[in-house]
Amino acid sequence: MDRIILHSDCNCFYASVEMLHHPELADKPLAVGGDEKERHGIVLTANYPAKRRGVKTGMALWQARQVCPDLVFVPPRMDLYIRFSRMARAIYHDYSDQVENFGLDECWLDVTKTCHLFGDHTVSIENGYRIACEISDRIKRELGITVSIGVSWNKIYAKLGSDYKKPDAIMVFDRKNYRRFVYPLPASDLLYEGSRTAKKLEKLGIRTIGNLAAMDPQILKEWFSKVGLMLSVFARGEDQTPVSEVGLEAPIKSIGNSTTTPRDLVNNEDVKLVLYLLSESVASRLKENGFIGQVEEVYVRDSELLGFHQQKKLCTPTSISEEIEKAAADLFTRLYRWDQPIRSIGIRVGDLLPETAPRQLDLFVDEGRRERLFLADRMVDRIRGRFGFYAVSRGIMAQDPYLSSLNAKADDHMIHPHSYLEHGNRSGAERLLQV
């Protein structure tokens, strides 16, 4: 028996929530992003009037202003969006005990066990559609925003369904119609098919999901390794990855921070200053959440908007700002060759452990000094919490007061849930290998 899976996606989530609180902006092009005057940040989301003018998620603010001169920017309020996300999930939980988050604005629901309570009291795609209609109505009535919902027998097609019609729509992909609706879609619409993979597939004549589904999985494996098998499973609608149950929500995978700087970074001294700001921010958030990290990654975007990233495993799990900065500086030195000035930079610490987790001590590491650095970080956080971010700062910040005016703790932060790829999608690829 097929499962009945829903994927619910809140339409233009951040912008929709902001329009609730700013009804005077409802008909104007609006984008949620950083500080335009400080040349900081990107478009996190935009409403439909802005999207129709060419504003896209991920655009730098100056780019968005070029395509839409009358665009209204609103600073993000993550606490507000998190509250609305929780209220939406509370509605989803009325219909299933299996609800899996995919970011703040998207969720999968497995309603196989509950859809017999609707309509003709059978487990059917039709009753899944009825649940989707009721959820859509409740979200609109109780929260004042809209959702698009996909209904299918697997998570991948359900997500394609929620993307198929926007806004405020419901799309069903079942065993009878999926070849007609899904197969003509661009292969790039599949979850986790990045732009590079899409370009490679297009060079090989694979442009649609139907093209991808028709390919021999073994050939795709030769071309793209396990990713090729995963995409074949996705295209054919054979994904069997379960939807997480209540109480088993994915833990935090990593904590990081990135920023678009007030001016381009042009040398290692500039980078070192910003890395200290970001490291303090990441270290503070790690401590707030009770984690230490074992892996660090640095991300750089240059003035031509080309991105570079590199990561490494840390010798000792840490939440100490100085250790995070030193690892970041080492990664940056190996990563970047200064072909262009740098526009934005980020740090991410992952492979997290509880800070109380036992660990192997290193004979060559001064644990006393590490303890003092940890306590110093704690004290700095307390001072800033009481007197403001600029109450205390490192001496290096005096080198460039303009650049160091960046409050990294208040800037765009990233808290990453465990990836969909880590929830068992390998099983689909391995199943194909055995065929």
In this structure, what CATH number is given to the domain that contains residue 217?
1.10.150.20
Say yes or no to pLDDT of 427 above 80: no
Same-domain status, 198 and 160: no
Say yes or no to pLDDT of 359 above 80: no
3-class DSSP assignment, residue 101:
strand
Lowest mean pLDDT among 156-160, 202-206, 253-257: 253-257
Average pLDDT, the chain: 85
On whether the CB atoms of residues 128 and 4 are closer than 8 A, the answer is yes
CATH number assigned to the domain comprising residue 25: 3.30.70.270
Kindly name the residue from 106, 280, 322, 325 that is annotated as catalytic.
106
Ranked by mean pLDDT, the top range of 195-209, 264-278, 358-372 is 264-278
* Cα 52 to Cα 34: distance, rounded to the nearest angstrom: 21
Phi, psi for 418 (deg, rounded to 5): -60, 145
Same-domain status, 28 and 80: yes
Q: What pLDDT does residue 227 have?
A: 83
Chain Cα centroid distance, residue 130: 30
Say yes or no to pLDDT of 249 above 50: no
Nearest to 172 by CA among 156, 154, 152: 152
Is residue 422 in a domain?
A: no
pTM to 2 decimals? 0.65
For the segment 368-385, the average pLDDT, to the nearest whole number, is 90
Long-range contacts (CB closer than 8 Å, 24 or more residues apart) made by 80-89: 80/17, 80/21, 81/13, 81/14, 81/17, 84/10, 84/13, 84/17, 84/143, 84/145, 85/10, 85/13, 87/142, 87/143, 88/8, 88/10, 88/139, 88/143, 88/147
Domain count, the chain: 3
Chain Cα centroid distance, residue 387: 32
Which of 228, 249, 270 is the C-terminal boundary of a domain? 249
CA distances from 22 to 27, 28, 74 (A): 11, 11, 10
For the segment 234-255, the average pLDDT, to the nearest whole number, is 76
Phi, psi for 194 (deg, rounded to 5): -75, 170
Q: What pLDDT does residue 429 have?
A: 46
Ranked by mean pLDDT, the top range of 108-117, 224-233, 420-429 is 108-117
- Please report how the helices 78-92 and 125-138 are oriented relative to each other, as an axis angle in degrees rounded to 10: 140
Same-domain status, 25 and 104: yes
Is residue 103 in a domain?
A: yes
Same-domain status, 92 and 219: no
Same-domain status, 245 and 361: no
CATH number assigned to the domain comprising residue 372: 3.30.1490.100
Is residue 426 in a domain?
A: no
Is residue 311 in a domain?
A: yes
| Each residue's pLDDT tens digit, 265-319 | 989 999 999 999 999 999 998 888 788 999 999 999 887 777 888 999 998 999 9
For the segment 17-22, the average pLDDT, to the nearest whole number, is 93
Tokens of 105: 């604005």
3-class DSSP assignment, residue 251:
coil
| Domain span including residue 208 | 188-249
Chain Cα centroid distance, residue 166: 20
% of the chain exceeding 70 in pLDDT: 89
Burial 366-394 (b: 16+ CB within 10 A, else e): eeeebeebbeebeebbeebeeeebeeeee
Which of 127, 150, 182 is the C-terminal boundary of a domain? 182
Same-domain status, 297 and 351: yes
Q: What pLDDT does residue 419 have?
A: 46
Same-domain status, 198 and 163: no
Phi, psi for 431 (deg, rounded to 5): -65, -40
Confirm whether 106 is a catalytic residue: yes
Burial 60-92 (b: 16+ CB within 10 A, else e): bbebbbeebeebbbbebeeeebeebbeebbebb
Is residue 429 in a domain?
A: no
Is residue 321 in a domain?
A: yes
Same-domain status, 173 and 200: no
Which of 140, 157, 182 is the C-terminal boundary of a domain? 182
| Each residue's pLDDT tens digit, 51-80 | 999 999 878 888 899 999 999 999 888 778
Same-domain status, 262 and 340: yes
Same-domain status, 269 and 353: yes
On whether the CB atoms of residues 389 and 407 are closer than 8 A, the answer is yes
* Cα 379 to Cα 370: distance, rounded to the nearest angstrom: 14
* Higher local confidence (pLDDT), 182 or 26: 182
Say yes or no to pLDDT of 232 above 70: yes
On whether the CB atoms of residues 31 and 46 are closer than 8 A, the answer is yes
Same-domain status, 267 and 413: yes
For the segment 359-363, the average pLDDT, to the nearest whole number, is 74
CA distances from 86 to 90, 147, 269, 334, 352 (A): 6, 15, 42, 41, 24
% of the chain exceeding 90 in pLDDT: 49
Is residue 424 in a domain?
A: no
| Each residue's pLDDT tens digit, 408-425 | 655 444 444 444 554 444
Q: What pLDDT does residue 432 have?
A: 41
Alpha helices, H only, 191-243: 195-203, 209-214, 217-224, 226-236
Same-domain status, 324 and 396: yes
Is residue 206 in a domain?
A: yes
